[in-house]
Amino acid sequence: MKKLCVWAVAALLMAACTPKAEKATDSGLLQSNFQMEVNGKKTDLYTLRNKNNMEVCITNFGGRIVSVMVPDKDGQMRDVVLGFDSIQDYVSKPSDFGASIGRYANRINQGKFTLDGTEYQLPQNNYGHCLHGGPQGFQYRVFDAVQPNPQELELTYVAEDGEEGFPGNITCKVLMKLTDDNAIDIRYEAETDKPTIVNMTNHSYFNLDGDAARNEAHLLTIDADYYTPVDSTFMTTGEIAPVEGTPMDFRTPTPVGARINDYDFVQLKNGNGYDHNWVLNTKGDVTRKCATLESPLTGIVLDVYTNEPGIQVYAGNFLDGSLTGKKGITYNQRASVCLETQKYPDTPNKPEWPSAVLRPGEKYMSQCIFKFSVNKN
């Protein structure tokens, strides 16, 4: 009897010392795969969850949304954004997947702008232009993270004067809140100690089918009568052109793939498909829906709201099958749609457009809401 008790105690001690298998998130992510050091700062994975069991996973590396689990029309939970399974993949496979983009989202012509009589030269990392803040923009920086409750995450990054050529020390905050009506409410804030330019956005690649197949059948609606044309280097020409009578007209729900290959229309040829900024009719009213993306397959609907004047729609034209994402899925061309709320591209060189200038004593504030629902029809 005494021998049996000794064996029982030994078995309990072994069980207590044996590491438990790590529990994955609903989207299949392991937190340990996101815990490493990048440029001397620790990265991690943070999970937001609301009362409906919607789940959003975020890493402080680049302030990236890694996964978004939402219910489809049959109640099945689906991950509707592209991304990677580990920080190592995000580091070794440079991308904008899910990132908080800054200091300036989109393109600045030849990487140059003049502010208060001083000309600044930025990195030229895209057809001679500065794209998304340069090759070491915010998407490759580690933010400080605080999670005050299960539905909110506060990310902070301090960009130094001269970083990627931009003037001013700026303190940037990205506040992400998962609401109980299945919306991801993203608020960007920034303050500076000298005049600078700021234009932040979220670069999530959405596929509402949840399988990263082609986006051609996704229905897109944009509340915009005008857009900003681009040249063959993807730079805005300065024109604001009507969508009427063109493949750029999404004022009623239209499949993304319905006209995307109409390369007789020079803008689609220039953009290799849709990679353009639309001039929103909502004019900064965050209570008005500015765009909608819907999957006829799953019934998942994404409504977008913003206080920004524009939205860049990018249809994954340059995905080419070279990247393998979460769960071993290959990301082929046009496997997603990006809906980036922001100032117009190259605004610093086009003074007639809404300004991106931030001065000491002012606070930059931008808001984007991604609200999910289901169409069961």
Q: Which residues are annotated as a binding site?
A: 106-107, 203-205, 275
Long-range contact set of residues 128-132: C-beta below 8 Å, sequence gap at least 24 = 128/233, 129/233, 129/234, 129/235, 130/104, 130/164, 130/165, 131/106, 131/107, 132/96, 132/101, 132/104, 132/105, 132/106, 132/203
In the 8-state DSSP scheme, what is residue 345? T
Tokens of 42: 């620790």
Residues of the binding site for beta-D-galactose: 106-107, 203-205, 275
Residue 138 dihedral angles phi and psi, to the nearest 5° = -60, -25
With residue 184 as reference, give the H or E element that holds it. Answer: strand 183-192
Give ∠ CA 28-313-266 in degrees, rounded to 5.
135
Non-local CB neighbours of 310 within 8 Å, separated by 6+ positions = 228, 277, 278, 279, 280, 341, 342, 343, 344
The residues carrying an active-site annotation are 203, 340
Encoded amino acid at 261, one letter: N
**Bridge partner list, 156:** 144, 173
Tokens of 288: 């008005």
